[in-house]
Amino acid sequence: MKPTSNPAAGVPPAVSGASRPRCEPAPLWASLVATFFGAGRLHPGPGSWGSAATVLLWWLLSRWIAVGWQAYAAILLAAFVIAIGIPAATRAARASGLKDPQFVVIDEVAGQLITLIAVPVAWKSLLAGFILFRGFDIVKPPPVRQLEQLPEGSGIVLDDVAAGIYALIVMQVLLHFGILGK
């Protein structure tokens, strides 16, 4: 016989084997930001969809930003995404009951933007940045994986920030040696 919850005995349902308590849904703003306006709901590979949407959006935005200002714009945009992404990821994770839900892709947006700082907006460099960031995000070399242990939205977002920094360094080396052109 399966044990049941007995509130009079002070036994909470989670301990007694009953289903997990229902979580309140995340606020609309947090859901929109955390999923990057729905990109995180696409399958397969929501993280890749979030990164691809970021590359496409950066390509479109860069048309209206002077080349000399693009690096500064990418830095400011990445900082903004991190600042709003951490609380949004926290709210979405709490609502789902998962530590790092796959549909939360604002972390990929932040990491992908960091990868593209001071990178020419050309198809080769955008594709290389996408591949490098996704690779570092998937492999998670030290200390990227350790950053996942940070609490809630900080752990969700900051590991991708670190993956973006790794990808940015490799991108700058490739650009410095002319492998991607200048």
Q: What is the pLDDT of residues 132-158, one digit of tens each?
A: 999 999 999 999 999 999 999 999 999
How would DSSP label each residue in 111-159? HHHHHTTT---SHHHHHHHHHHHHHHHHH-TTTHHHHTTSSHHHHHHHH
Q: Does residue 13 belong to any structural domain of this protein?
A: no
Q: What is the pLDDT of residue 77?
A: 98
Q: Does residue 42 belong to any structural domain of this protein?
A: yes
Could you tell me the pLDDT band of residue 1, with boundaries at 50, 70 and 90? Answer: very low
Q: Does residue 92 belong to any structural domain of this protein?
A: yes
Q: Does residue 68 belong to any structural domain of this protein?
A: yes
What single-letter amino acid sits at 93? A
Total domains in the chain come to 1
Structure confidence by residue, pLDDT tens digits, 69-123: 999 999 999 999 999 999 999 999 999 999 999 999 999 999 999 999 999 999 9
Instruction: Name which of 102, 129, 103, 125 is nearest 180 in CA terms.
Output: 125
Q: What is the pLDDT of residue 182?
A: 58
- Tell whether the model's pLDDT for residue 47 goes beyond 60: yes
Q: Does residue 19 belong to any structural domain of this protein?
A: no
Q: Does residue 71 belong to any structural domain of this protein?
A: yes
Average pLDDT over residues 50-61: 98
Q: Which residue has the higher pLDDT, 13 or 66?
A: 66
- Tell me the residue range of the domain where 53 lies: 24-176
Q: Does residue 17 belong to any structural domain of this protein?
A: no
Q: What is the pLDDT of residue 24?
A: 85
Q: Which residues of 63-90 are buried (b: 16+ CB within 10 A; e: fewer)?
A: eebeeeebeebbeebbeebbebbbbbbb
Q: Does residue 16 belong to any structural domain of this protein?
A: no
The alpha helices in the chain, defined as continuous H runs, are 13-16, 28-34, 46-62, 70-96, 106-115, 123-139, 144-147, 152-176
Ranges 4-13, 84-93, 121-130: which has the least confidence: 4-13
